Structure 1
């Protein structure tokens, strides 16, 4: 379980994450939603130790992320950042193999190669394995980065806006892959999402942030309601249901 206690981050006089305390459930998909500037990506960066916190603690299965050795934490938790551009010219296979670094330190074993092949296959990238990243479409490249994260073989997978720059078809494909990873591989997937419809359809648990704080949290059905979403986004949001499933939102 990922637990945050009073996690705070300030930029000068501006508090972007304000005393956030959470216990994120193990297993399934947890989505962090909220308006721009709510502190979603900053919180995820502190959970993954990409950013220092000014106050508070974060533990992953009891391990304090600020005190746990990097190679130990990297076997428990992986993250895909929002900005995942590569300056080096790499093939898909090269990129995915980076996911094994916490285990092999660059010297790939037979076990590492098995994980690489499985991750490439899982993301349907076999035909693209030898292609360079700059030769791929945005959706293909994003799948390659997710394959790298899955190749790291961690219990917890954190993704910061994985649907960024993807059209609706590729965004849906990405969410289906993440749902499969949670269901079939037993991963705990935590992601920052802007699309509330995708959060509603694919999430088990939703954390809604506003002004650097947790405004609401709970099972998806409890959060995707007109009252909660209208409070979070400060606009009138309606929820359309078909057969009891919340499937779309519209705004007035």
Structure 2
């Protein structure tokens, strides 16, 4: 479980997070939604320990995330940011294997090799194993980076806008894989991710964190709290939560 208490943060005299408190149960796919400038990415990075808040506390599975050293955090959560940086001449297999670094610190064991192979297979990357990451399409590249985060074998995965600039095929591919790996059974993961596509969030998320102007407007199981009225208020434009061929969609009015 993630427990956030009275989290506030400002940068350059601009208040980004305002007294944020919420709990996110384990085993969920939690979507953080809200308009631009709501503080979504900042909240995710504070949850991951990448940013230090001005006040408040974040506990992930009972651990005060800001009291842990980097390696300790890396055994509890993996974070995939919006910008992954350049990876010249790095093969897909080497990139995915890099997710094991917090475990072996440069001395990989058979367990690390097995975890890398499992991540490669789960994200259907075996045929691309020797390709350089820079040679991949956008969707293939993003799948490789998500596989690297998965290979880290952490209870929690945090993903900041993992679907940015992807076409519908790759959006569905990645979200299907993420949805399949969440749960409370052994080997399953808990996932929190920032999403802008509300129809994707409605289809895949089972927990929602709705943010606006640095505050939590609503948080809880998606089906219990997300309505057309909430979305319209959140984005300040008429929106409707509807259903198409049995799948939820969000449409503008």
TMscore range, shorter length: over 0.9
Say whether the 8 Å CA contact 1:239–1:246 is kept in structure 2.
no
Asked if 1:13 corresponds to 2:13, the answer is yes
Say whether the 8 Å CA contact 1:6–1:21 is kept in structure 2.
yes
> Could you tell me which residue of structure 2 aligns to residue 211 of structure 1?
213
* Other structure's SS at 2:66 match: coil
Cα distance in 1 for residues equivalent to 2:126 and 2:84: 21
> Could you tell me which residue of structure 2 aligns to residue 121 of structure 1?
121
Say whether the 8 Å CA contact 1:9–1:17 is kept in structure 2.
yes
Between 1:39-48 and 1:73-82, the stretch displaced more is 73-82
Cα distance in 1 for residues equivalent to 2:127 and 2:16: 43
Matches within 5 A, 1:79-158: 79-158=79-158
Shift of 1:242: 4.8
Cα distance in 2 for residues equivalent to 1:138 and 1:203: 23
Cα distance in 1 for residues equivalent to 2:250 and 2:43: 26
Consecutive unaligned residues in structure 2, runs of 5 or more? none
* Other structure's SS at 2:50 match: coil
- Runs of 4 or more, structure 1, over 4 Å off, are none
Consecutive unaligned residues in structure 1, runs of 5 or more? none
Asked if 1:189 corresponds to 2:177, the answer is no
* Other structure's SS at 1:66 match: helix
> Could you tell me which residue of structure 2 aligns to residue 62 of structure 1?
62
Say whether the 8 Å CA contact 1:7–1:20 is kept in structure 2.
yes
- TM-score when normalising by structure 2: 0.95
Cα distance in 2 for residues equivalent to 1:101 and 1:27: 24
* Other structure's SS at 2:182 match: helix
How many residues matched?
251
* Other structure's SS at 1:158 match: strand
Shift of 1:222: 2.6
CA deviation vs aligned residue, 1:120-150 (integer Å, no higher than 9, x gap): 0100000001100111000000010011011
Matches within 5 A, 1:19-38: 19-38=19-38
